[in-house]
C-alpha cells in the first residue's frame, strides 16, 4: 500500500462503492488539486459512496486524510476522450468559506504544500505549474474547481521547502485579527488595508440613528445628524462586497446584508436582525473572513 507518511487519518470505509480503479495505473507524473465546494472536512470521503468520484487525499487545517492507496486510480479529473486519472494523484481541500469565494484556510494550503513535496519527491515529479495543476486545468475538464485555493502559493511554498526558492514566507499567512467579536481599531485597520485605503483611527460620518445598532464597534465613530451624515469610504467598500447600496452609512439594511452573506459562507449562524451586539457573532464572522485575506 502506498500512502504518504504525512497522512494523519486513514479513511477507507467508503470504498465499498467501487468508485475508483477501473483504469490501469500508469507512471505518476502530475498532482491535481481540488476543493470540496464545502466547509465540512468530514464529508470527504463518504460523499463518494453515492457520487461516482474519488481522490487520494483530503486536506484540512490540522489533518491530512488518506482516502485511497496511491497505487490505485482515483476518479478525480476524468473527461470524455482524455486519460487524466491513470497518471495523476488527486488532492482535495476543505473550504473555509462557501460561494462565491470558496476560500481555503492558509493552514490547509501549508499542509497541501508539504504533501505536494512528499508526493513529488517520491515520484520525481517537477514542482512547477505544468505538473501541479488545478482540476479545471486538466484536458477536457469543464469545471471551476478549485475555488479560491491559492495554487501558485502552494507551488512556491513547495519550492521553498525543497530549497529551490525563497520567494514566500516559511509559514502560511498569519491570521491578522483576534476573533473576539469586537470591532476595534485592529479590525478597522485590516478593513481599510483590505480596501486599499490609508489607515486612520475613526469611522467617519455615521448616522446618529444607527448608534444603538452598533454596540459591537468599540473604536471611535463620528456620529452626526442623519440628514448630514456623509458616510465612510471604507464602509462603502464593505457594502459593495456584501451587496448593499454603497452609501457609506452602516445601518440595519447593510448589517442584514452582511449577516446574510456571512451565513451563506458558513461564517455566521445567528439571526438576520441588522444589529451588531457586544460581542457580536456577525463581527466574528467578518473577522474570520478578513483573516482569510479577502479584498474589499
CATH number at residue 97: 3.40.80.10
Looking at residue 295, its pLDDT comes to 86
| pLDDT, tens only, 190-204 | 999 889 898 888 999
| pLDDT tops 80 at residue 176 | no
Looking at residue 1, its pLDDT comes to 87
Looking at residue 170, its pLDDT comes to 46
Residues 222 and 283 in one domain: yes
Residues 148 and 197 in one domain: no
| pLDDT, tens only, 201-257 | 899 999 999 999 999 999 999 999 877 899 999 999 999 999 999 999 999 999 999
Residues 85 and 214 in one domain: no
Residues 153 and 52 in one domain: yes
Residues 70 and 195 in one domain: no
Contacts of 152 (CB under 8 A, 6+ apart): 129
Residues 249 and 128 in one domain: no
Q: Is residue 176 part of a domain?
A: no
| Spatial separation of the C-alpha atoms in residues 157 and 177, rounded to whole Å | 23
Residues 72 and 196 in one domain: no
Q: Is residue 278 part of a domain?
A: yes
Query: DSSP readout, 175-205?
Result: P-S--SS-B-HHHHHHHHHHTT----S-EEE
Read off the pTM.
Answer: 0.66
Classify 160 as helix, strand or coil.
helix
DSSP annotation of 173 reads P
Residues 189 and 249 in one domain: yes
Domain count, the chain: 2
Q: Which range of residues forms the domain containing residue 14?
A: 9-161
Looking at residue 64, its pLDDT comes to 98
Q: Is residue 180 part of a domain?
A: no
Amino acid at each position: 500500500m502506498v500512502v504518504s507518511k504525512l497522512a494523519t487519518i486513514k479513511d477507507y470505509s467508503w470504498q465499498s462503492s467501487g468508485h475508483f480503479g477501473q483504469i490501469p495505473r500508469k507512471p505518476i507524473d502530475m498532482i491535481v488539486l481540488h476543493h470540496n465546494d464545502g466547509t465540512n472536512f468530514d464529508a470527504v470521503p463518504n460523499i463518494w459512496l453515492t457520487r461516482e468520484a474519488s481522490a487520494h487525499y483530503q486536506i484540512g487545517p490540522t489533518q491530512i486524510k488518506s482516502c485511497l492507496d496511491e497505487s490505485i486510480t482515483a476518479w478525480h479529473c476524468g473527461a470524455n476522450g482524455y486519460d487524466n486519472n491513470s497518471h495523476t494523484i488527486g488532492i482535495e481541500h476543505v473550504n473555509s468559506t462557501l460561494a462565491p469565494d470558496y476560500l481555503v484556510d492558509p493552514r490547509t494550503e501549508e499542509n497541501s504544500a508539504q504533501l505536494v513535496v512528499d508526493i513529488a519527491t517520491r515520484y520525481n515529479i517537477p514542482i512547477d505549474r505544468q505538473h501541479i495543476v488545478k482540476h479545471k486545468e486538466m484536458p477536457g475538464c469543464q469545471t471551476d474547481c478549485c475555488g479560491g485555493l491559492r495554487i501558485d502559493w502552494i507551488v512556491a511554498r513547495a519550492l521553498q521547502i525543497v530549497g529551490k526558492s525563497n520567494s514566500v514566507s516559511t509559514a502560511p499567512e498569519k491570521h491578522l485579527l483576534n476573533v473576539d467579536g469586537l470591532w476595534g481599531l485592529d479590525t478597522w485597520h485590516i478593513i481599510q488595508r483590505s480596501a486599499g485605503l490609508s489607515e486612520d483611527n475613526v469611522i467617519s460620518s455615521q448616522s446618529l440613528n444607527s448608534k444603538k445598532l452598533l454596540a459591537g464597534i468599540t473604536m471611535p465613530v463620528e456620529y452626526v445628524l442623519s440628514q448630514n451624515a456623509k458616510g465612510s469610504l471604507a464602509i462603502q467598500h464593505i457594502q459593495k462586497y456584501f451587496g448593499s447600496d454603497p452609501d457609506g452609512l452602516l445601518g440595519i439594511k447593510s448589517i442584514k446584508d452582511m449577516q446574510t452573506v456571512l451565513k451563506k459562507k458558513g461564517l455566521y449562524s445567528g439571526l438576520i436582525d441588522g444589529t451588531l451586539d457586544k460581542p457580536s457573532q456577525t463581527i466574528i464572522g467578518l473577522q474570520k473572513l478578513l483573516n482569510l485575506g479577502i479584498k474589499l
